[in-house]
Chains A and B, each alone.
Chain A
Amino acid sequence: MDPSTDTTISIRCSFFARYAELVGCDHVTLDVPAGATVGTAVALLRGVVPNGDQLPDRPMVAVNQEHALADTKLRDGDEMALLPPLAGG
């Protein structure tokens, strides 16, 4: 048994439009501490993906296809999407 499974969770991070172009891929899997918030995960993500420092500190984020806030708690298997400034219409 890997003891880390109790203390970390795995989330799928998706990138769209300009952010996908910036980091060079459309999704990565990220391990974060159990109980981590969106804010924590974004900070970790910025440290590990290519050009992560060029992503905003507080981007618009969706969790499981719903708009989310920096203090939204993440659960194992969640999809966290980083949304560049919206431009529909």
Chain B
Amino acid sequence: MKWPFCRRWPGASVAFLVNEPIAIAELVRRVSDPEHGGTATFMGTVRRGPDDGPVAAIEYTAYEGMAESEFSKILDQTLERWPGARVALQHRLGRIPTGEVSVAVVVSTPHRAQAFEACRYVVEELKQRVPIWKQEVLEGGATRWRGNRDSGQDVT
């Protein structure tokens, strides 16, 4: 049986995709629960790797309808595996400067082990399944498409 509040906690109707900076504190507030002693927060930030050259920002786009639906399925599956967990996540779209947060996943559970595990699960699933793409914007304005290094797919 599913946790009765799984789709009803405050903010559950908030979109998974946003165009403005992600408000981490708000996500943490949404999973807070007096019976939960562990909250794990993962933030993915736009980075410039050692071999990436002068990356100024990353432009994120999505197949938005499908992305929202995949996020929703990932949450449902997370709640099946960790009944009672509370999960909040958001992915930012548009041009995100280096150093800013592109995705945040926050999970609370009664004890820390499940919070870490469930948070990791959500992050790995979203990288495998959610149709989002990124294009690096170099200083000077040139752009290049970029796949996830760990997606197992050819980037060319």
Chain A residues near B (Cβ < 8 Å):
14, 16-18, 21, 56, 60, 62, 65-67, 81, 83-89
Contact = CB atoms under 8 A, between A and B. Distances in A.
Contact of A18 (B60, B131, B145): B145
B103 A88 contact: yes
B151 A85 contact: yes
B18 interface: no
A4 to B, nearest CB: 31
Given A18-B145, A60-B153, A86 B65 contact: no
Given A16-B131, A60-B153, A62-B131, A87 B147 contact: yes
A40 B109 CA distance: 46
B127 A89 contact: yes
B126 interface: yes
Given A17-B61, A62-B63, A81-B66, A86 B132 contact: yes
Contacts of A60: 153
A84 B44 CA distance: 21
B145 A89 contact: no
B148 interface: yes
A33 to B, nearest CB: 26
